[in-house]
Amino acid sequence: MNHHDVLILCEVALAIAVFAIFRGLFPSLLLDQPNARSSHTSPRSRAGGLLFGGLLILMVAVVSVFPSAGFQSGTDGAKRLFYPGFRNTNETLFFLGLLLAWGNGLLDDFIQVRARYRIVIQFLAVGLGLIVFRDQHPDFNILWFPFLAIGLLYFINVFNFMDGTDGLAATEGIFLCLVLYIAGWNSWLLESLALFLSVFLLWNFPRARIFMGDAGSNLIGYVLGFFLLEAFVEQPWLALLIPAFFVADASLTLLTRIIRRQPFYLAHREHGYQHFAIRYGHRSLLWVLIGVNVSIALLVWIGWRLDFLRWLLVIFTYLGLICFFFRLRAGLPPSKY
């Protein structure tokens, strides 16, 4: 058993212990009260992101300080801490961006920060990450960077938008981590995020006893957003295909609300997935997500072998999902569903 295996086992034990202790001693911390925009009917703690986010950041700091844990960034044959090309300075900047994104969400969980201030902090976090990306890809046209920043900001908020029912965001996060890891981005960070989300899902599976809050959704969106950006550089079809369920619903809902002249930046309960959960239940919605993601994984397998089909698979997947969420009246009030 090498250092990496020991570290993973320690992470599993630590995560289970932390969540079990929390459920026993602090069940009312960051209590989320139901309101007209909620998909739950009784108070639940939204401290999940505080717990698994704090654990992830702690482990990243430990592994960065103690390279003897077996991680040599960008070295062939070694398990990578983040992803290929990282150097010590890069790791520091990426870690600071990760910390800023998580802290921004955590602050909002505690005191409800105004949307414009949240966006500014998210932009700073994304900017730190893009400095790293620029250093890794010096030939990448700098004119694209404003669009990359907007895309990353959007993806962070997509996870925030879609974290509205039991188990949904955690399951999607685990799926994206696994597909990216299997596809070649063999990063310890993806391993650890998937592991902590799996432990969190034990308490977040319908009927959920704890939610992840903005701290959790911001952290997941930040990490996976940058990994998807790395994937986009090499396999753009893959980076667009695998998050299709979340992106299709969030985008259709956002566009519909803009057309209806609604304040799209405010919390609401008008997503297609929320309408589905109201009618069929959280557990049924989760099985739909799992079924869609299994189908997407199969399409990835097909696209990897038949490259001439790749973009057709992306287009038809989004068309199918957009039709599905359109039928669910995404972007309209629940009363019109």
For residue 322, pLDDT over 60 is answered with yes
Same-domain pairing of 196 and 274: no
pLDDT band at 35 (very low <50, low <70, confident <90, very high): low
Higher-pLDDT residue of 189, 32: 189
DSSP symbol at 208? P
Q: Is the peptide bond before 23 cis (omega within 30 degrees of 0)?
A: no
Q: Residue 321: which domain range? A: 236-337
Q: What is the pLDDT of residue 29?
A: 84
Instruction: State whether 116 and 32 are in the same domain.
Output: yes
Cα 28 from Cα 181, distance rounded (Å): 35
Q: Is the domain of 4 the same as that of 115?
A: yes
Between 64-73, 230-239, 296-305, the lowest mean confidence (pLDDT) is in: 64-73
Q: What is the mean pLDDT of residues 119-142?
A: 92
Question: In the chain, which residue ranges form alpha helices assigned H by DSSP?
Answer: 3-25, 48-65, 88-111, 115-136, 145-162, 168-182, 188-204, 213-234, 236-241, 244-259, 272-280, 282-305, 310-327
Answer yes or no: do 161 and 220 share one domain: yes
Write down which residue in 182, 216, 234 finishes a domain. 234
HEC readout, 130-191: HHHHHHHCCCCCHHHHHHHHHHHHHHHHHHHHHCCCCCHHHHHHHHHHHHHHHCCCCEHHHH
Domain count, the chain: 2
Q: The pTM is what?
A: 0.93
Q: Do 274 and 208 fall into the same domain?
A: no
pLDDT in tens, 207-228: 888 999 999 999 999 999 999 9
79 shares its domain with 152 = yes
Based on the domain organization, do 2 and 135 belong to the same domain? yes
One domain, residues 170 and 229: yes
213 lies in the same domain as 272: no
- Give the gyration radius of the chain's Cα atoms: 19
Q: Among the three residues 234, 253, 286, which one is the final residue of a domain in this structure?
A: 234
Identify the residue with better confidence: 141 or 35: 141
Q: Which of 202, 234, 266 is the last residue of a domain?
A: 234
